Structure formats: structure tokens, C-alpha cells
Chains A and B, each alone.
Chain A
Amino acid sequence: MMNNFSKMMIRIWRDTDMYLGIAVETGYVLVVSAVGLIICLIVQVLVR
């Protein structure tokens, strides 16, 4: 089973830009979270 999984990982790594894809998607979420944090900061300051 582990052998199959390793083969699958290698195939995905060889056939796709897996690391780039993961980095781009994670980057999108971090931007969303950063915007969320900035909104929280601004709202907290303005409402106070």
C-alpha cells in the first residue's frame, strides 16, 4: 500500500507542478486570512 502511494506521489510530482500548486493555493488562503486580520484590526479601532 505504501509502495502504491509512493508511486502515486512520484507520478503526481513528475506529471504536475504539485509544489507550485500547493504554494499558490496556500498563498491565496494566507492572503484571505491576512485581509481578515486587517479587517478585524480596523473594525476594532473604528468601533472603539
Chain B
Amino acid sequence: MISKPTTDDLRLISRFTGKIIIGIGLLMSIPLITSVCFREWPVVIDFIIGIGAAMAVGYVMVKIGDTEKKPTWVHGMVTASFSWLVTMTIAAMPYWLSGYYLSYLDAMFDVMSGFTTTGLVLIQDLDHVPDGINMWRHLITFVGGQGMIVLALTFLVKDAAGGYKLYVGEGKDERLLPSVVHTAKIIWRISLIYLVIGTFCLWLVGLLIGLSPISSLLHGMWVYMAAWSTGGFAPMTQNILYYHSFWYELVTVVSFVIGSFNFALHYVVWTGNPGEVRKNIETVSMFVTMIIFTIVGCYGLAKLHVYSDAVNLFRKGFYQIISGHTTTGFMTIYARQFIREWGDIALLAIITVMLFGGSACSTAGGFKGLRIGILFKAIIYEMKRLLSPESSVFVQRFHYLKEQVLEDKQVRSSALIVMMYMATFLIGTLMGNLCGYPLTEAAFESASVTGNVGLSIGVTTAAMPDILKMTYILIMWVGRLEFMSVLALIGFFLAGLRRK
């Protein structure tokens, strides 16, 4: 049981949260500079107000949080989940001031969608949004992919012991190097290097398809930010369909699949062990589930003669399935085509892969390939045990960065997280249904928010009920943080209500 919080506990949480908010305020300087470059003066004012608010709130929280107390796991977990809610509120300010949102709730929805790398949007008139706002949208999703805590650890938090607790609280548990601060820096280095390479590739493709050099650069950078962080935001309403380019689609597929890899896998492969990609339980699991559900999905589409040839089936069917599987949410079709053309079999395939998701300790959401692999290994283990003499002793192994023996606690932990994801998915579906949406549409959108995917069947619009917007915000948040730190926050809050 969590003990009743003391003033020092609250101060400690306030200090770390304040630093993260200051980090978000500093981050707003990038879209501010973008707006100045493109002479979008009203947007410049919006960002100055946003930066001012973030700095003021952050500074006050840091000042309040002056304490000698050392952080524990509870502090790390509570700060991680609490800071996401506070930063959502602050980061929504420039959005709302820009006038492209119908309400502050819509602006907060888009911020949470960005930070959790979901990619669902409620923004109005996206095709004419100023460059500064577009920069902020994609920067939010890029930072969210790496994690706000990772950002804070890289630049603001020097307390290594407390930093690790925050880092784990954000749903990441791989320490690539002994120091968590160095781990955070490695994560940023890998991401920035891929950002430069990916932006360059998309810039070239953009030029080839007729975009102007500046437009091609901005679109390339924004789309790559969203692809790498498996976010799914794009600068145009039609998403990736806008570009009508096979090469654009191919570069984005490469980007978001690599983005869905575990950061530990990147590090191991980059430090001289390329064979890990072939052996790792997550890449193997993803490869197998991708094949199975591509077959199922493509069968469903081919049976209904939705696409006339195999190349179209690949560019529409496979693209949507792998975009859903990696929890990216890039689309090369219109949202309503899912319900009007795709049919039940293909929809079932895509709902399933959206829940499966990418890799642990990556930018992706969902159950994660690691847990699917562990549960599959556990099933194999149980089958072997049941079919063998009682005296037999088995050891089930799996390869995850190194050879490991499957333990009960790993199976229990994986099963628990998968069960919580499924419960969240069912709650989202029920809420959608209660708000008047048909079961298939409610289930599709719920899978999309639970897995932080961003594919939409058309439910997510500014016209949907506020209660559903709030439900989706909460689901995106708990799904991204993988429940534990949110449960810690709830426990912390309830403990605060106790009399003793």
C-alpha cells in the first residue's frame, strides 16, 4: 500500500514536473523560430504566450519543490504520469490560441494524441495551418516518441538515481548504458541521425513529385518525425495519400518500421551485433504476426475485389496493415473507406494488429512484440509439459538481446499487461457504442486509441461527444504509459485522501 503522501513527497513531484514543463516551454522556441522565419506574426504571439505560461508554471513548481528528499519508485511513477497531464494542458495553449480548434478540449486531445504518438486529430482546416503550428504538432509527436522524460533527462535532470525512476515510470525499462542520462542521450542521438537521413530521403522524393524545395523539406521533416515516432501526423488532411507516390510510401514504411524497433535493439545492432535483428524475439514476433495478418487482411480485400491488382493491394492493404501494426497510423486511403469497402475480415485483421503494436522501449504502442513472443513461448512450454511424462523438466528459452530462460514472472507480467490493454480496449469500444457509434466503428477506433495507432474509421472528429474525447484522451495516456505509472498516480491520490 502507498503511504499517505507528505509535503516533501508533493514537493519532489512538483520539482521534477516543473523541470519537464520548462523543457516543454524551451521546446516551443523551435515552432516560434519557424513562425518568425515564415512571418506568421499571430502565431509568434501564440507561442510567446505559450512559452511564458510554461516557464512561469514550471519555475513556480520547481521553486515549490525545494526539498532534500530522495526520489523513490512511487515518486518516479507518479511524476511520469502526472507530468504528461500537466504538459498536455500547457502545450495545448498555442494550439487553442491559433484558432484552429473548436475548444480547449480539442486542443488537449491533439496534444495527447501527439505526445502518445497516436496521431488522431481534431484540428480544423489542416491543409491551411501555419507552418509554426505544423512544426509544433510534429515536434510534439517526435518528442513523445522518445518520451518527455527522456528529453528532460537529456537536458534538465542531472539526478541520475531519480532519473532512472522517472524513465521507468514512462514505460521504458531498457538501460542501454549504465547511466540512465547517457541512455537518454543515446536514444536522442539515434533518433536525430535517423531524422537527418529520413528527412533527406523524403526531401528528394518530394522534389521528384513536384513539391517546391522548401515545401519538400518541411513536409519531409514533418512526415519523417511522425514516421519515426510512429505518430501518424501529417501536414495535409489526406495524410500520406496526398503525395500519391509509391516512393514516398516506401520511405515512410522503412521509417516507421525502424521507428517501431526497441531502442536497445538499435543500440545492439549499431554496436556490432547485426545478427540481433534476425534473432530478437520482437522482430521475429512482428515478422510472423505481420505475415499472418497480411494474409488474412489481403484475403478479405481480395475476396471483395476492393483493389484491382496486387500492386494496389500492396499500396493500400499492406500499407494500412503495417502502419497499424507498428502503431503509426499513416493512411493511404480515406477513413470511411475502411467501413464502406474493406469488409469484416480485413477490419478484424487490422484491429488485431493495432492492438499487437510494435516493440517494447520504442516509440510504438500496443501489447508489444516482446509480450506476444513471451506468451507464445509460454503456450509452447505448457503444451510440452502437458504432453510429456510428469518427471520431465523443461526449460523454455527466448532471445531478447541475449539468450534468456522464460520465467513465470515474465509470463505473469506480460499476461497482466495484455489483459489490461484488452480491458481498456473493451471500455473504449463500450463508450463509443454508448455514444451511438456502431460496434465495428467503435471497436476500430478504440483499438486505434488503445494501441496509440491513429488510423481512423471516421469516428474521431470535432463533432464527436466530449465524453468520448475525454475517454480517448485517458485511454491514449494509460496505453502509452502502460498502466503502471497511472495506477501509481491513482494510488497516490487515494492515499492522499486517507485520514492517516
Residues of A in contact with B (beta carbons under 8 Å apart): 5, 8-9, 12, 16-18, 20-22, 24-26, 28-30, 32-33, 35-37, 39-41, 43-48
Contacts and interface: CB of A to CB of B under 8 A. Distances in A.
A39 B349 CA distance: 15
Nearest to A35: B291
Contact of B250 (A9, A33, A40): A33
A20 B257 CA distance: 17
Contacts of B317: 40
Contacts of B313: 40, 43-44
13 contacts: A16-B270, A17-B272, A18-B270, A24-B274, A25-B269, A26-B258, A28-B257, A28-B277, A35-B291, A35-B294, A40-B318, A41-B310, A43-B299
Contacts of A9: 193
Q: Which of A8, A18, A32 has the most CB of B within 10 A?
A: A32
Nearest to B194: A22
Contacts of A25: 258, 261, 266, 269, 277
Nearest to B302: A47
A5 B65 CA distance: 33
B318 A37 contact: yes
Contacts, number: 97
B277 A32 contact: no
A5 B192 contact: yes
A43 B302 contact: yes
A17 B274 CA distance: 9
A22 B257 CA distance: 12
Interface string B241-285: 000000000100110011001000010011110100100000100
A30 B254 contact: yes
A39 B313 CA distance: 10
B270 A17 contact: yes
Interface in B130-180: none
A44 B271 contact: no
Contacts of A35: 287, 290-291, 294
A41 to B, nearest CB: 4
A26 B8 CA distance: 49
Interface in B321-337: 322
Contacts of B194: 22
A47 B299 contact: yes
B302 A24 contact: no
Contacts of A26: 254, 258
B128 interface: no
A9 to B, nearest CB: 7
A36 B319 CA distance: 9
A15 B486 CA distance: 38
Interface in B276-313: 277, 283, 287, 290-291, 294-295, 298-299, 302-303, 309-311, 313
A36 B271 contact: no
B38 interface: no
A12 to B, nearest CB: 6
Contacts of B298: 39-40, 43-44
A12 B299 contact: no
B189 interface: yes
A2 B145 CA distance: 23
A39 B197 CA distance: 29
Contact of A29 (B253, B270, B271, B272): B253
B41 interface: no
A8 B299 contact: no
B302 A44 contact: yes
A16 B290 contact: no
Contact of A32 (B189, B309, B322): B322
B314 interface: yes
Contact of B295 (A29, A32, A39, A45): A39
Nearest to B283: A28
Contacts of B318: 33, 36-37, 39-40
